Amino acid sequence: MTKEALAALNPSTTEDFKRLFSLIFYNKAMLTDQFVEMALTNKFKRGDGYTINSFIESVLRGEDFLDGKVKAIKAPTLALWGKDDGLTPLGMGKAFAEDIQGAQLVVIDNCGHVPQMEKAAEFNAAVLKFLGGAQTAQAPK
């Protein structure tokens, strides 16, 4: 990824947030002006721009890649992915699930990068089923 593309992960204006959110969310109806303004306000309150830039710099230095590292995971693993994730494509989720022995991949349709927000019921059902807390947990149809 280029530095410019990675810089989009640290938005500083409402237009920057709109561009980033268009990759993150499948459901574009969520991208209201109020939601974007709230996200921008919360970002400035958190003051996390430095942390995000540090992450971006580590990626540019080649330090933040999981290639080959996930094969060492031995714990039961759930890879839960939005089918329409424009930030980290489904192919990445499939690769993680293949590389982690015994991993379970759950793909949520009509969903982007944040299934816990866009498809909370399906996300929660999948997590509960994986954890064994609700053997019959089913997402509403």
Reading the block at residue 99, the tokens are: 């590389």
48 band by pLDDT with thresholds 50, 70 and 90? confident
pLDDT at residue 137 greater than cutoff 50: no
Share of the chain above pLDDT 90, in %: 63
Q: Is 17 exposed, middle or buried (0-12, 13-18, 19+ CB in 10 A)?
A: buried
CA 13/CA 55 separation, integer angstroms: 19
Contact predicate 86/79, CB 8 Å? no
pLDDT higher at 45 or 3: 45
The reported pLDDT for the residue numbered 61 is 84
Would you state the pLDDT for residue 67? 67
pLDDT given at position 115 = 96
C-alpha neighbours within 13 Å on the C-beta side of residue 128: 14
Would you list the domain boundaries of the chain? 3-60, 70-131
What SS3 class is residue 33?
Answer: helix
